[in-house]
Amino acid sequence: MYAEGVAVMAGRIRDEDIALVRERTAIADVISEVVTLKSAGGGNLKGLCPFHDEKSPSFNVSPARNVFYCFGCGVGGDAIKFLMDAEHLSFVESVERLAARAGIQLRYVEDDRSAPRPRPQQGQRQRLVAAHAAAVDFYRSQLTTAGARPAREFLAGRGFDRSAAERYGCGFAPDGWDLLTKHLRQQGFTHDELVTAGLSRPARSGSLIDRFRRRLMWPIRDITGDVIGFGARKLFDDDDGPKYLNTPETPIYKKSHVLYGIDQAKREIAKQGKVVVVEGYTDVMACHLADVPTAVATCGTAFGGDHISVLRRVLFDSDERAGEIIFTFDGDAAGQKAALRAFEDDQRFVGRTFIAVSPDNMDPCELRLAKGDLAVRDLVARREPLVDFALRHVIGRFDLDTVDGRVEAMRRAAPLVAKIKDREKRPEYVRKLAGDLGMEIEPVQRAVLNAAHGPQAGGAAPAAPARPGRATPAVDSPRSMVEREALKLALQEPVLAGPMFDAVEVTDYQHPVHVAVRAAVAAAGGASTATGGAVWIERVRDACDDLAGQALIGELAVEPLRIDGEPDPRYVSITMARLQWSSVTGRIRDLKSKIQRVNPVSNKDEYFALFGELLSLEQHARALREQAAGGL
C-alpha cells in the first residue's frame, strides 16, 4: 500500500492525473527494462523476481491489467509501485517519471479546494539524474577543445573513432577548478545537489570545485539508460590520482549494483541467453564494436552478488532457461585470482559459467587493436568451463612430481569439484582430477565427498521467508477455488463480470480473506462501476483494510483464470452459480437441522414457515445446479 496524497513541496498531484498515468503506462515496457520477461500463457508474462533470489520464475506481469505480482515473495502492484520498490523512489517521483515517459503534463494542487498550480520541484532522484545529463553534455562538448587532445589521442590509440566516442558519450573534464560546477549552477542546480550527485566537492575555502579534472570521461548508465555516475581515466603524468576514478557512492550510484554497458547490452543478453563480463570501459566498447554485443563491466569494484542478481534477471537465468556467463579476466595473477573468486559465486547462477583468456594475456581492447574484430569474437567462442580453468590453476601451484605436492593439490582441488552444481558431472570431474594428479580415483573420490559434506560445501540458498500477512486460502477446497475464481473475474474482467458479481452478496463467501476482498470490491464502488486495469485494482486494494486481503488482491490480479481462452458471460454465470450453490446448499443443511428440532404440533406456524423456506431454497438450489453444470 502507498499513499497517493504524498506531498512534494506544498502541493500534490491531482488524482485524475495519477489515474491517467496508470492507464497510459504499459507496465510490461517498464518492467522489461529491468527484468527479462517471457510468456506465461493466458496473456501474462513471467520473469525472475527483482526483489528476491529465485531459480524458477515466480514474478508475473499482467499487461492487460497493468499490474505485477510475485508468487514467491508476495510483492505486487502497478507500475508506480514497481518503480518505488525497484528504484527506491517516492510515490511522487515514480508518478513523475512515468508521466514524462507517457507525455502527460501533471497538475498539482495545494489541497482539494485549490486550483491547479505549476509543476513543483522534482524529487531528488530526478534532480540528480538531470544534473548528470547536463554534465554529460558539458563533458562531451569539451572533448573537441584543444585541451582535450590527449583524450582524443587516447581513444584513437585504442581504436575508437569519433562515432564510437559519441555512441558511448565519451567526454573530457577540462583543466579548471570549477568549470562544470559553475555551468551546472547556472542551470539551476544547487550546492547540495551537486555535492550529493558526486559531481562537485567542497574545497578548503568552503566553495565548490569539480570532482573530475583533466580526465577522459565515460558516463555510467543504469539499466534504464539514465546516467547515474562517471568513470574518469587519468591522462597526464603529473596527475597524482588513481588511474581510474569513479563517482563516489550516492543516492543513485551504488557501484555494487552497476554494470557498465548494461543499458546497451540488455536486449542482446536476453535474446542470446549469454553475457560476457569484461574488466573495463574500453573492453566493453571493443566487444560491442567487434559484434560481441552482450559485454558488460563492473565499475570500480569486484564482480559480486548484486551484479549476479542484475544479470540473472536480464538473462532469465532459471531452471527453464539456463544462461551462459563468460568471464574474460586477464591471464595474469590478478586475473586468475579474479576468476577463482568468480567460481565461488558460480552457485548463484543456474546457468553455466565460462572463462575466455587470450593466449597472449591481452584484454579485449588490446586484442581488437592488435588482431581485429574477429579475434575478439574468437576469444569468446573459445571459452572453457570456469571449473576446468579453476582446477587447472589450483593444481598448477603444486609440484605434482612429489607425494606431498599431489596430496596438497588434491586437498585444494577437491572442494572445487564438490561445489559443481550439476551433481551428474561430479563423478566425471573426480576421474579427471585423479588423472591430472596421477592418483588413484578412490582417494580423490573420498576427498571430494568429505568436502561436499564439510562446512564449506556449496548448498542451495535458503528459501525466502514467508511474507508477513500473506493470504493463504485453502486452495485444495473446491469451494475456496470457486471463490477465488469469482474474485479474479471481478478484478480482471469487471466490465464483463460486474453486474453478475455484484448481485452475489458477501454472505455467499466463506473464507475470511475472500470475504475481506469481496467487501473491498463493494467499498470501491462495485465491479459494475469499473473499467478494469491498474486503476481499478489499486482502488480495491486501497479499500481493503485486511493486510492478507491486500496481498491476495495483487495475487488474484495476475493469476490466470481457470478457463482456456477468453472468458465470456456464460463462464461468469457458471462461476457465480457455483459460488451461490455452495452457499445455498449450506443453508439448506442448516435449515433441515433446525426443522428436525422444531415440534410440528406445538410450534406448527414456525414449522410450516421453515418448511416453506426449505422448499424455496431447494428449488433455488436446483436452478443454480443446472446453471452451474452448463459447460463445466
pLDDT tens track for 212-222: 999 999 999 99
pLDDT confidence of residue 6: 39
C-alpha to C-alpha distances, 294 to 89, 267, 327, 582, nearest whole angstrom: 29, 8, 12, 56
| In the predicted structure, residue 456 carries a pLDDT above the cut 50 | no
Dist CA 180 CA 215 (whole Å) = 13
pLDDT confidence of residue 511: 87
Q: In this prediction, what percent of the chain has a pLDDT beyond 70?
A: 84
Distance of CA 243 to the CA centre of its chain: 33
| In the predicted structure, residue 204 carries a pLDDT above the cut 90 | no
Residue whose entry in the numeric block shows the C-alpha cell 475472500: 514
Mean pLDDT to the nearest integer, 293-312: 87
Judging by DSSP bridges, how do beta strands 208-210 and 295-298 pair with one another? unpaired
Among the listed residues 277, 273, 298, the one whose alpha carbon sits nearest the alpha carbon of residue 287: 277
DSSP-derived secondary structure for 138-169: HHHHHTTSGGGHHHHHHHHHTT--HHHHHHTT
| In the predicted structure, residue 489 carries a pLDDT above the cut 90 | yes
pLDDT-wise least confident of 51-55, 122-126, 136-140, 141-145: 122-126
pLDDT confidence of residue 334: 63
pLDDT confidence of residue 510: 85
pLDDT confidence of residue 194: 96
| In the predicted structure, residue 23 carries a pLDDT above the cut 80 | yes
Asked if 447 contacts 441 with a C-beta cutoff of 8 angstroms, the reply is no
pLDDT confidence of residue 616: 67
Longest dimension (CA), the chain: 113
pLDDT-wise least confident of 82-86, 153-157, 444-448, 576-580: 576-580
C-alpha cell at 369: 587493436
How would residue 55 be classed by pLDDT, with cut points 50, 70 and 90?
confident
**Whole-model pTM over 0.85:** no
Other CB atoms within 10 A of residue 606 CB: 14
Mean pLDDT to the nearest integer, 343-353: 75
| In the predicted structure, residue 121 carries a pLDDT above the cut 50 | no
pLDDT confidence of residue 360: 80
| In the predicted structure, residue 247 carries a pLDDT above the cut 90 | yes
Residue 236 has phi, psi (to 5 degrees) of: -115, 140
pLDDT confidence of residue 524: 92
pLDDT-wise least confident of 68-82, 100-114, 522-536: 100-114
Of the ranges 61-70, 102-111, 161-170, the best mean pLDDT one: 161-170
| In the predicted structure, residue 386 carries a pLDDT above the cut 60 | yes
Q: Where are the alpha helices (DSSP H) in 174-240?
A: 179-186, 191-197
pLDDT-wise least confident of 32-46, 429-443, 454-468: 454-468
Asked if 400 contacts 409 with a C-beta cutoff of 8 angstroms, the reply is yes
| In the predicted structure, residue 592 carries a pLDDT above the cut 50 | yes
Mean pLDDT to the nearest integer, 318-343: 73
pLDDT-wise least confident of 29-33, 468-472, 520-524, 623-627: 468-472
Asked if 57 contacts 316 with a C-beta cutoff of 8 angstroms, the reply is yes
